[in-house]
Amino acid sequence: MTAEQKPVAPRRSAARRLLKDPQALITGGLLLVIVVLGVFAPLLSGHGANDSSLDAVNAGAGTPGYPLGGDHSGRDIWARLLYSIRTSAVSAVVATTVALLVGVTFGLVGGYFSRRIRGITEWVFSLVMTFPGILLLIVLMPVTKGDVRVTMAIFGVLLSPSIYRLVRNLVVGVRNELYVDAARVSGLPVRRILRRHVLVVVRGPIIIATAFLMGSAIGVQAGLAFLGVGSSTVPSFGSMISDGFRNLYVDPWQFAWPALLLGFITASLVLLGNALRDALEGSRPKPVKIAAGPRQEPEAGESTGDLLTVRDLAIAYPTPSGELREVVSGVSLTVAASETVGVAGESGSGKTQTAFAVLGLLPAEAVVTKGSIRLHGRELLGLGERELRRVRGHSIAYVPQEPMSNLDPSFTVGAQLVEGVQASCGISRREAKERVLALLARVGIQDPERTFGCYPHEISGGMAQRVLIAGAVASEPELLIADEPTTALDVTVQAEILDLLRDLQRESGMAVLLVTHNFGVVADICDRVVVMRQGAVVETDTTLNVFRGPAHPYTRTLLESILDGSTVRTDPPVAATAGREQ
Ligand SMILES: Nc1ncnc2c1ncn2[C@@H]1O[C@H](COP(=O)(O)OP(=O)(O)OP(=O)(O)O)[C@@H](O)[C@H]1O
């Protein structure tokens, strides 16, 4: 099992999550009771919805045979409420079914097929959206003849653009995924691809939208009945509210009962929709609040007097089904002042995620489920963005993997560096410029003045990396995190950049945390190495010890793969020097 496949949260189905959610239980239970009342209306009431009796005109609650009293026409309020539930349920089912059928079908077609088809469907649904909904239903009254089902079917069509857009956007997002391409290449028919790969993605959002569609269909049906649009013989909360409103001073309960029940139903549907969203899409768990606990003892192979201490760090990402997938599992490492520590491992082993967690640069969807990251004993996890920015600007600096993509093509190199130096050092623009020119010279740029005025596309990859290193060390950080700083460069430049990093590290005494997949780079400049695999640390030791006798078979495999001559050096690497000194 790879790190990517490792689920951190126990696998819980959406149904089980729903059953554990009190909001879902209460609203779902309430709606179920209401539906049951509607279904058994004939059994639960002694009268039909439209049966009237002179004796029951404005009868009070508790009148024999009329538990909630009678309305101004002598009809049983309890019976009318029960039959109104049926009308609401039919409205909700008809409108939602039509909206889903039309919206999902055209959403799949518009999202999956060519731009031309998407253009046509887009145009049609935009047109539908321009129709004034309720007004149209009133105007069409002579056609629908007040039939609730026909009216709600038309309303379903008017609701369908929202479903169309939801599905289309999801499908557009998914159709370019590599697994969909793979399915196409393997010859799967379009129908099967849509069902197997695409519908799975849109299923959750559709279920959630259904709850909201039902709520709005019930509300609109009641609104139309309140306005008197529709058959007067069809019991409805809207017509009951309208009648009760006219009789408000005689008996306010004639108004209150249907209003309350309608309110309960629509509110329950909205709240149930929210609970469904949490269950199906997964509410984002909050990162664990890390308490400033006692300092932990270093583990074997770790140095003392640490500048940076990462303890038991776990990072996870929510999957579409809502569960968390762990990509870093219980990583611990330390970096002492002035030490260079390599984090090595294969692609996807969690090196960058660990480094980004230290920098506080994990993507918004990442969840730190446990652990601690301390700089000089100060917990970094849980710090606000402002405090983190201060830490990043002063104590920790970063050198990225792709120098070119980290420079803005719209600004000159100098302008970008000056801005950063000013922000982190709090000096004037003139001082910042002088500092930048000195730094450019220090990182080995031949003509700092010229490079200062260049745009990123006018300099080479190696120069761009030097520029970024200059920017990173400008604030004299205590810790420099370099994420594969040489990977994007050619072999000769790689060696020069490593030389530069080592020289800067020795001069300034800063610590370096170097993320790399290349053990040649580790041998070159690292004092210690942390070997990662599948999101976990498999071995931590001094570079010398690891090269002399790797403890873990995975480390041995990595070591065997370094003899590719990719790092050309003129001076002896750390491992060799240390070996001679021993
Ligand atoms: N935004 C994200 N959403 C979900 N999973 C992610 C995200 N970013 C990274 N991952 C997962 O985290 C795992 C570890 O990624 P990381 O970038 O730390 O690997 P790495 O060891 O640095 O490899 P590489 O050298 O290829 O960058 C990856 O397998 C990836 O699947």
pLDDT tens track for 275-322: 887 777 654 444 443 433 444 444 444 445 689 999 999 999 887 666
Instruction: Write out pLDDT tens, residues 384-404.
Output: 877 887 788 788 988 888 777
Of all protein residues, the one whose alpha carbon is nearest to atom 28 of ligand 1 is 348
pLDDT grade for 84, boundaries at 50, 70 and 90 = very high
DSSP H or E stretch at residue 340? strand 340-345
How far is residue 522's CA from residue 344's CA, in Å, rounded to a whole number? Answer: 8
How far is residue 261's CA from residue 253's CA, in Å, rounded to a whole number? Answer: 12
pLDDT grade for 562, boundaries at 50, 70 and 90 = low
Of all protein residues, the one whose alpha carbon is nearest to atom 25 of ligand 1 is 347
Report the phi/psi class of residue 228: left, alpha or beta, with left for phi > 0 and alpha for psi in -120 to 50: left
CA of 480 to the centre of ligand 1 (A): 21
CA of 521 to the centre of ligand 1 (A): 21
Here the tokens at position 271 are 């709240």
How far is residue 147's CA from residue 164's CA, in Å, rounded to a whole number? Answer: 26
The predicted model gives 530-556 an average pLDDT of: 91
Rg of the Cα atoms in the chain: 34
Does residue 2 carry a pLDDT above 50?
Answer: no
How far is residue 26's CA from residue 15's CA, in Å, rounded to a whole number? Answer: 15
Q: What is the pLDDT of residue 425?
A: 75
Residue 379 CB: number of other CB atoms within 10 A? 16
CA of 349 to the centre of ligand 1 (A): 7
Homologous superfamily, domain 306-395+477-581: P-loop containing nucleotide triphosphate hydrolases (3.40.50.300)
How far is residue 83's CA from residue 419's CA, in Å, rounded to a whole number? Answer: 70
The predicted model gives 242-261 an average pLDDT of: 89
CA of 535 to the centre of ligand 1 (A): 9
How far is residue 77's CA from residue 51's CA, in Å, rounded to a whole number? Answer: 11
Cα dihedral 256→258→262→268 (10° resolution): 70
CA of 284 to the centre of ligand 1 (A): 19
Give the position, in ligand 1's atom list, of the atom nearest the Cα of 355: 18
CA of 348 to the centre of ligand 1 (A): 5
Residue type for position 503: D
Distance, CA of 524 to chain centre? 39
For a ligand 1 pocket test, name from 1, 313, 333, 352 the mutation site with the most ligand atoms within 8 angstroms of its C-beta.
352
Q: What is the pLDDT of residue 282?
A: 57
Contacts of 394 (CB under 8 A, 6+ apart): 424, 475, 477
The predicted model gives 478-495 an average pLDDT of: 83
Residue labelled with tokens 């020119």: 437
Cα dihedral 127→128→132→138 (10° resolution): 130
Domain boundaries, given as residue ranges, for the chain: 18-282, 306-395+477-581, 408-476
Of all protein residues, the one whose alpha carbon is nearest to atom 11 of ligand 1 is 327
CA of 314 to the centre of ligand 1 (A): 13
Of all protein residues, the one whose alpha carbon is nearest to atom 2 of ligand 1 is 317
Contacts of 563 (CB under 8 A, 6+ apart): none
DSSP 232-243: TTS--HHHHHHH
Q: What is the pLDDT of residue 326?
A: 92
Of all protein residues, the one whose alpha carbon is nearest to atom 29 of ligand 1 is 348
Here the tokens at position 473 are 């060390």
How far is residue 175's CA from residue 499's CA, in Å, rounded to a whole number? Answer: 46
Query: How many angstroms separate the Cα of 377 from the Cα of each of 11, 42, 336?
Result: 35, 72, 12
Give the binding-site residues of ligand 1, using a 6 Å CB cut-off.
3-4, 317, 327, 345, 347-353, 363, 517
Domains 18-282 and 306-395+477-581 share a fold: no
How far is residue 220's CA from residue 89's CA, in Å, rounded to a whole number? Answer: 13
Of all protein residues, the one whose alpha carbon is nearest to atom 3 of ligand 1 is 317
Q: What is the pLDDT of residue 12?
A: 52
CA of 556 to the centre of ligand 1 (A): 23
How far is residue 161's CA from residue 168's CA, in Å, rounded to a whole number? Answer: 10
Q: What is the pLDDT of residue 321?
A: 64
**Inter-residue contact 244 to 260 (CB < 8 Å):** no
Of all protein residues, the one whose alpha carbon is nearest to atom 1 of ligand 1 is 363
Specify the pTM.
0.55
Q: Residue 524: which of 463, 567, 565 has the closest Cα?
A: 567
pLDDT grade for 538, boundaries at 50, 70 and 90 = very high
Give the position, in ligand 1's atom list, of the atom nearest the Cα of 515: 22
Homologous superfamily, domain 18-282: MetI-like (1.10.3720.10)
Q: What is the pLDDT of residue 146?
A: 79
Q: Residue 542: which of 301, 356, 353, 373 has the closest Cα?
A: 301
Give the position, in ligand 1's atom list, of the atom nearest the Cα of 363: 1
Residue type for position 526: C
For a ligand 1 pocket test, name from 317, 398, 521 the mutation site with the most ligand atoms within 8 angstroms of its C-beta.
317
Q: What is the pLDDT of residue 416?
A: 85
Contacts of 81 (CB under 8 A, 6+ apart): 68, 237, 240, 257, 258, 261
Q: What is the mean pLDDT of the chain?
A: 82
Q: What is the pLDDT of residue 452?
A: 92
Distance, CA of 10 to chain centre? 19
Give the position, in ligand 1's atom list, of the atom nearest the Cα of 354: 18
Q: What is the pLDDT of residue 36?
A: 94
The predicted model gives 151-169 an average pLDDT of: 91
CA of 551 to the centre of ligand 1 (A): 25
pLDDT grade for 13, boundaries at 50, 70 and 90 = low
Residues in the chain: 582
Does residue 455 carry a pLDDT above 80?
Answer: yes
Q: What is the pLDDT of residue 219?
A: 92
Residue labelled with tokens 């999550």: 17
Here the tokens at position 425 are 């050092």
The H-assigned helical ranges of 197-300 are 199-226, 237-246, 253-277
CA of 438 to the centre of ligand 1 (A): 36
The predicted model gives 432-442 an average pLDDT of: 89
